[in-house]
Amino acid sequence: MQLSLFTALALLVLTAIGFLAGRSRALALAGNGGTRLHSLPNYHGYFVALWAGLPGFALLAAYAMFASMAVNSLVLGQMERAAAPLQAQYESELRDDPAYTGAMDEIARLEIAISELRDEADAVIESDGVQSDAVAELRERQAALQFEIDDARFTRDTRAEAVAAEMLEDLRAADDLALARAGFEYGRLPSEQREVYMADARALAFGVELASRDTPELRALADTLRPIHQGLAWGGSLAALGIALAGLAFARTRLAVRFRARNRVEWIISAALALASLIAILTTLGIIFSLLFESLRFFASIDWRVADFLFGTQWSPQTAIRPGQIGQSGSFGAVPLFAGTALITLIAMMVAAPVGLFAAVYLSEYADSRVRSWAKPLLEILAGVPTVVYGFFALLTVGPLLRDFALFLGYEDAVTQSALSAGLVMGVMIIPFVSSLSDDVINAVPQSLRDGAYAMGATKSETICHVVFPAALPGIVGALLLAVSRAVGETMIVVMAAGQAANLTANPLESVTTITVQIVTLLTGDQEFDSPKTLSAFALGLVLFVLTLILNIIALRVVQSYREKYD
Amino acid sequence: MADAAAPNSNKATVYHPLQSTQPVKVAASGVEVFYADQQALHGITANIHDRSVTAFIGPSGCGKSTFLRCINRMNDTIDTARVRGSIRIDDEEINDRGVDPVLLRARVGMVFQKPNPFPKSIYDNVAYGPRIHGLASSKDELDAVVETSLRKAGLWDEVADRLDQPGNSLSGGQQQRLVIARAIAVNPEVILMDEPCSALDPIATARIEELIDELRENYCLIIVTHSMAQAARVSQMTAFFHLGHLVEYGPTEEIFTNPRDRRTQDYITGRFG
């Protein structure tokens, strides 16, 4: 670790040296102001510095990414080779063990018997049908055989375990072939424990972390691992420094009076900028693929009944843990979640769109600069309030208020946690988004258009309705759609204020739940990542992603088709 | 011609003997404009004649546009602007409290430096004024107003078959004529033009100048321009502004061939500006 840090520092120093070397070489080429260089000396300096720094750092980064993988595969190879004779000895001992070979024979016999039984059953089903007594009897016999074969397998495995343990015990007593023992142990481990085994060896080798076990085998493995790791680290560092030096020397030879260092530096800068945007794009792709693969696992676990997921009206993932349970197939219908999301978003937008737009129009067209200077920041503070606080507000203030009001109006089933209270509070939360973005858009409408309308004898509100608004429409639509994605993705307020019951209803006074809330519920706490219940969260995430993607595409289309050109 | 070499410090306006036979349409007297604490116009007094083109010339920042915007009270839309003095259109004081600036602007149309068609179709751009002022009672009538206005602006033949396309799909010169048609559609008495050709190429400019000449038959036109040649070509009367003062005012030919103030002379011969 420290070594790569020193290497990085050394590379920085080399880069600086490269700059100075390039610059002084350029100055030398220019002579005493006699010749005119194509590029200023500093650009020659940057050029050499970049050649010195970039390949070295790239190599160091590659080393950091792949070093542990390389160390692992080298160590594993060595371990396997060491363990090969041990493995051979173990196999020959098993062949000579009567208990083991007896169990193996038994298993082979039983397997043949079962397959014969299966053929017989097929024939009976062919002639008599599935429901016949003969088939039932065959089934019973098959179950008995299955029981026997499980028994034999258990005997075989216990025996193999005992033989292996005995062998290792003898070797350990003689303190012989420690690395081979490690390889043998490692080979017998189930795959999910191998990672832990290697981690323990690493911990023993470097003493940075605490190992969970400390055995002679692990010690031996650690002793093998350490030099390989150190060798690779030194090799990587030296290679990085070497390539940096080579780059420096090469770049320095390229310098000449007509050399276009300035253009080269420009090219490298544009490449670096392109790389930055590429990182964003690749991250997005990575997110899409991880969502996609987990979703595919989910769909596989519900036997590819994608339509049931997308169009089913029953959402109760908690009951689907055990197979064969009643209603299992219908319990992943996500329509109530979509409906809940749509309902709350609709309510929120019904609050945020008009209020936000009117606030924006007031701020940009009517308010004088003094009012504007304090009103706009104040409105934007709303955007800074944490959503949890909005959640409190919805749960403790708005919810009870709405319930009491509904009771007062004679609606008996009113509850505190309702779609309406979540939607209203979420709408308030989104107001600053709508107003701030629309305000910017309205301000961007050129004054000449307003002047044109005033000069035609239009009043202020006519000017705003007929001229300013249509001109700002694409931006306003963009702002509204952004607000919609914000509402669709909002979680905290809904968790607290709308309840978690997956009701399929259009009644805003009932509890509903949304896609995001369900994702949170499914993934928080201790979860196993192979049950359909947990995996369904990824499928929901995918739906959410596609939904917001479609919204964005629509937004872009609208903006493009209404775009006005103002220069 | 003894006063031809009047000193620059002379703030009194030089008025050439009147040669226009047209009646006075706009009579300004002692007009002063302040932006916050800064005085932009100093006591402008001038009579502007009907059915003729009056050009306002002068270096940038001389107050010619400010004065133009006084005539339809566009300065009201600027919070910090204050206007003093009297401007009468047909003997009616427009700075009176009783005058509704919105109605005044229907009588005094304005065309701006950059073409500014509304984000609407060509038809709706022209129909906008008649609609908000209720000038047409039926669709047919509105169609007729739109066609007449576009014909007067010399644009009808180019857009007749695409009236439903957006106004800013037209070229710059066409847009400026569209804006003129829009101004004409409400049947104004005075048309103000604030450097209407400065964003256009020479061909489009020639087309607009031709149009201005045609419009002179029916309207009182006032045009602010930076092009002396344009002022000479299209106007009958010219007013030269400098540093917020009206320096010299008279028939265009007189001003250009025989300026009486040194500053006018310097400006039109290109010595400053």
Copy the structure tokens of residue B27: 């009579």
Give A383-427 pLDDT, tens digit per residue: 889 999 999 999 999 999 999 999 988 888 888 888 999 999 999
| Dist. CA A45–CA A251, nearest whole Å | 10
Copy the structure tokens of residue B187: 């049947």
Q: At what angle do helices A216-254 and A2-30 cross, to 10 degrees?
A: 10
Residues of A in contact with B103 (CB under 8 A): 457
| Dist. CA A435–CA A442, nearest whole Å | 10
Interchain proximity A565–B128, CB inside 8 Å: no
Interchain proximity B106–A457, CB inside 8 Å: yes
Q: At what angle do helices A41-96 and A178-188 cross, to 10 degrees?
A: 80
Give B169-190 pLDDT, tens digit per residue: 899 889 999 999 999 999 899 9
| pTM (two decimals) | 0.70
Residues of A in contact with B102 (CB under 8 A): 457-459
Copy the structure tokens of residue A372: 């504007």
Residues of B in contact with A564 (CB under 8 A): 119, 166, 168
**pLDDT over 90, % of chain A:** 27
Interchain proximity B186–A565, CB inside 8 Å: no
Residue A528 has pLDDT above 70, yes or no: no
How many H helices and E strands in chain B? 10, 11
Copy the structure tokens of residue A388: 């949890």
Q: Which residue is listed with tokens 């299992």? A: A328
Give A110-161 pLDDT, tens digit per residue: 888 888 888 888 888 777 776 777 777 887 888 888 888 888 888 888 888 8
Interchain proximity B114–A467, CB inside 8 Å: no
Nearest CA-CA distance, residue A373 and chain B, Å: 16
Angle ∠(B198,B204,B207) on CA atoms, nearest 5: 115
Residues of B in contact with A369 (CB under 8 A): 79
Of B114, B133, B166, the CB nearest to A457: B133
Interchain proximity B116–A471, CB inside 8 Å: no
Nearest CA-CA distance, residue A471 and chain B, Å: 6
Query: Quick check: B49 and B20 in contact, CB under 8 A?
Result: yes
The DSSP output letter for B49 is E
Question: Measured between CB atoms, does A459 come within 8 Å of chain B?
Answer: yes
CA A376 to chain centre: 36
Least confident piece of the model among A29-43, A312-326, A430-444, B87-101: A312-326
Looking at A175-260, list the stretches that DSSP marks H as alpha helix, in order from N- to C-terminal side: 178-188, 191-206, 216-254
Nearest CA-CA distance, residue A439 and chain B, Å: 18
Residues of A in contact with B113 (CB under 8 A): 448
| Dist. CA A439–CA A432, nearest whole Å | 10
**pLDDT over 70, % of chain A:** 95
- Model confidence at A562, pLDDT cuts 50, 70, 90, reads low
Interchain proximity A457–B102, CB inside 8 Å: yes
The ipTM value here is: 0.88
CA B33 to chain centre: 18
List domains and CATH numbers for chain A.
2-246 (no CATH), 333-561 (1.10.3720.10)
Residue A567 has pLDDT above 50, yes or no: no
Question: Chain B: which residues have CB within 8 Å of chain A?
Answer: 72, 74, 77, 79, 102-106, 109-110, 112-114, 116-120, 128-129, 132-133, 166, 168, 179, 182-183, 186
Residue A209 has pLDDT above 80, yes or no: no
* Fold of the domain spanning B20-115+188-268: Rossmann fold (3.40.50)
Question: Measured between CB atoms, does A368 come within 8 Å of chain B?
Answer: yes
Interchain proximity A448–B112, CB inside 8 Å: yes
pLDDT of res. B118? 92
Give chain A's length: 567
Question: What mean pLDDT is predicted for residues B219-239?
Answer: 93
- Model confidence at B10, pLDDT cuts 50, 70, 90, reads low
Residue environment code for A228-255, b if the CB has 16+ CB neighbours within 10 A, otherwise e: bbeebbeebbebbbebbeebbeebbeeb
Nearest CA-CA distance, residue A563 and chain B, Å: 10
CB atoms within 10 A of CB B158: 16
pLDDT of res. A318? 63
Residue A285 has pLDDT above 90, yes or no: yes
| Dist. CA A408–CA A399, nearest whole Å | 14
Copy the structure tokens of residue A452: 């044109």
Residues of A in contact with B128 (CB under 8 A): 453, 456, 458, 466
Nearest CA-CA distance, residue A267 and chain B, Å: 37
A183 against B28, higher pLDDT: B28
Residues of B in contact with A468 (CB under 8 A): none
Interchain proximity A450–B186, CB inside 8 Å: no
Task: For A434-491, give the DSSP string.
Answer: HHHHHHHHHHHS-HHHHHHHHHTT--HHHHIIIIIHHHHHHHHHHHHHHHHHHHHH--
Backbone angles phi, psi at B25, to 5 degrees: -100, -50
Interchain proximity B105–A448, CB inside 8 Å: no
Best probe of the A interface among B128, B187, B192, by most A CBs < 10 A, is B128
- Which residues, at least 6 apart from A195, have a Cβ–Cβ distance to it below 8 Å? none
Least confident piece of the model among A26-35, A241-250, A516-525, B133-142: A26-35
pLDDT of res. B235? 94
Angle ∠(B198,B203,B204) on CA atoms, nearest 5: 55
Residues of A in contact with B132 (CB under 8 A): 456-458, 462, 466
**What's the burial of B152, exposed, middle or buried (CB within 10 Å: 0-12/13-18/19+)?**
buried
Distances (CA, A) of A413 to A70, A393, A401, A493: 65, 22, 14, 22
| Dist. CA B182–CA B110, nearest whole Å | 10
Nearest CA-CA distance, residue A451 and chain B, Å: 8
Residue B6 has pLDDT above 60, yes or no: no
Size of interface A-B (CB pairs under 8 A): 73
